Structure 1
Amino acid sequence: MSVQSLVSQLPYNAQIKPKIVKDVNTLLQIYRSLQPSAQELFSVQQGTATLLLTLSGTIAMFFKGSQYNIPVDVYLPLTYPSTPPLVYVRPTKSMALKEGHRHVDREGLCYMPYLHKWGSRSTLIEMCQGLSQIFGEDPPVYARPASQPYHPPQPPSYNSVASSSSSTSYNTSAASSSRPTPPPPSYSTLTKEPSYKASGSTNLEKLTVKIQGELQDFYNDARKEMQSDLALQTKLSSSQDEISKQHMNLRRIKENLTAAIDETKEKNDQLTQTIKKKSDEMSNKDSLDPDSLITGIDPNSSKMLSLCATVAAIDDTLYYLDRALINGSINLDEMLKETRKLARKQFLAKAHIKKIVEGVGGTKDYVVR
């Protein structure tokens, strides 16, 4: 019977039946050792049994370089996929459940982080892969000694299932048992069971596990490379901010230099025009009066400049009159006559200078010698 026909006869919500069919068919394409069927799951609280879709078969694991097939039953609850599947390890007559196992209790119910964190993105394939991994780390069954009696597994009850989905400890108390770990069942022991023979998908499952390991290594390398790239990107971002600041600073300096260059050019043009103007003025004059080059800034300054020149000229004249008298170039009477004239003129010039200085607020100590 196909999965679709089987699911159509079970009391699942009609809206989730297509997803159940799709998920189960996808799982069976890889794990062909699992076979779908309808089995009852007893509810202790309600006292009734519910018919659920069950996947019975084996899940391959690898322990110390050898492959073993672990018999399991996978129940899909009515609330699937909102709640995780229920996985039971079903030991055969030649097997016994390992007591104190971290992920499997005495009834064979499996506890694992993947089931506890079951969400909308969880899949049955990843669940089986997780079971294969945890079984490979710690086998849940071992070869039952001939002296140990066989106890058939009890049918699963719904209250134990409910407690497993909400538990956060994963049977850690059982994991602390001091009992030594029994050896896993030998491969030959598993293959002797007719209902759990290794299917033709063994090589496919082995290849799947190998590819998963290679993909995990690839993801780890990619994650490290991404972290390195992110760190480099952070450094580049900080460097980019620093470069932007330096660029803005250089732009301001360039603007200031451009303004200074323009101002310098303007001043240079003004000086050039002034020089040209003065050159033209000088070329238009036949002779240049040196006295015209020195002028005062106002009338009083010009007058004082002229009076000071007069005083200095009279001093020079008196000096040369004295030399002329000594040399006999002039007699005494003429020398005294000219001296009186020059002295009177010099006195008036000095008095005029003093009056100008006092008029403009100058000091009275100013004396022209």
Structure 2
Amino acid sequence: MSTQKWLRENCVKYEEKEKVYNEVNTALETFGLYGRSNGWLKVKSDVYTYDDGRTHLLLCLHGLLPINYRDSTYHIPVDMWIPFNYPRGPPIVYVVPAQGMMVKNSKFVELSGRCDVANYEGTKGSWLDRGEKRTETRPGLVGLIDALIAWFGKDPPVYSRAAQNPQPSPAPAPSPTRPPFQNHAGPRPSSSFSNHAGPPPPTYSPPPAPPRPAFMPSTSWTPQPPPILQTRSAAPIPPATAPWTPGHPPPPRIQSAPIQPPMQSMIIQSPPPPPSIPAPDLLDSDDPNPGPEFRPSPAPPLPPNPILLSLHSSVHAKLTSALQSLQTSLHHSSEHLRKMQDDLLRGEPAIKDEIARLEAVKAVSLNVGSRLRQTVEAAERNVQVLRDKGDVSVDELICGPTIVHNQLIDLVAEDNAIEDTIYHLHRALNSGSIDLDRFLKTTRVLAEEQFMKRALIEKIQAGLPLGEQTMWR
């Protein structure tokens, strides 16, 4: 599968896939193996983890960026992650130091290696994180890489780990069993050699050469002078001597200036070696219990980092507090659930008893409802029968079993009517509605009629049985 086909397949998940494909392809053509620079950039697809824990499968341009620092060419290893919202958001650029190299903290480079491309002067204002539309004047990946090359050329982002505290190695102390070499007879010519195997003449221990910067040197065939990054001048390096092997004559020393006697002035005064403690001879010792042999105590361990201890304590305190709050909430929840469980267990018999009672009530209600329904249906049938018969007169409703009884009912009704009439006439007389003569005449007529009716009632009652007479009285 070609690189372009693979790149197009992996650009599908981006918002502006055509834009991402064109810019990544242009960057590979410009800074790849056949590009115009000596760098080497490749593309890959890998998982990137954000600071908040999110992980995305992003495209990554990784490789070396060539820079020119103090007339020397170096290669800076970088990783350029392209987010999904590109080109609305800037690429995520990291400087990846090789072995023996460390990231130099600066204004735009963090100790983690991340580069702040959004605030760098060369690309400031080109990338906006708030969703603004990207104009054509903003640089793409090629412009960003050019800006990074210029940026790193002014301020390299990495340095050598050994260049932090350069100190000259101390000269080896002479063996205590060998006396210092003294030449009382004057210097020997440089072309002569010693015929016996003696100790080599003392020489200066030169300080180490200034370390080279921690960049990857160019692999081009043209030799280039090493850059000088040390600001302090080092001590002049005297002529080095060839290594000397015991049993062979020492090599000749080439003197750049005449040697002035005495020879001891050329010897570096080194501190005397510590006196060696002779081992006790147990055969010559009169003490049957000699004291223990002195042994130097081991070096104390390095003290822990206070920042790390503070971080550990703060994290431990936060975790302890969170654990306590979680335990408290879980305890309350468990107590609440336990109470609910007890209530449910106690409520099961009560629920069963209530169900049985409701079943009995249901059976009784169904029985009563059935009987009530039958009664209602019978009443509705009777009402329908009465409606079919029509309205009944009052005389048909109130009647006696015989004609005599019906006559008696009529006489009683007429007697009561006459009684009411006389009463109302009396009230009319009192109110002055009628005069006295008319009242007397009408009352006399009504009284005679009432007398006749009452006499007839007495006669009828006399002819009725004893029980019926009591009822009509």
TM-score exceeds 0.5: no
Could you tell me the TM-score, scaled by structure 1's length?
0.39
Name the structure where helix makes up a greater proportion of residues: 1
Could you tell me the TM-score, scaled by structure 2's length?
0.30
Using CA pairs below 8 Å that are at least 6 residues apart, which structure has the higher relative contact order?
1
Name the larger-Rg structure.
2
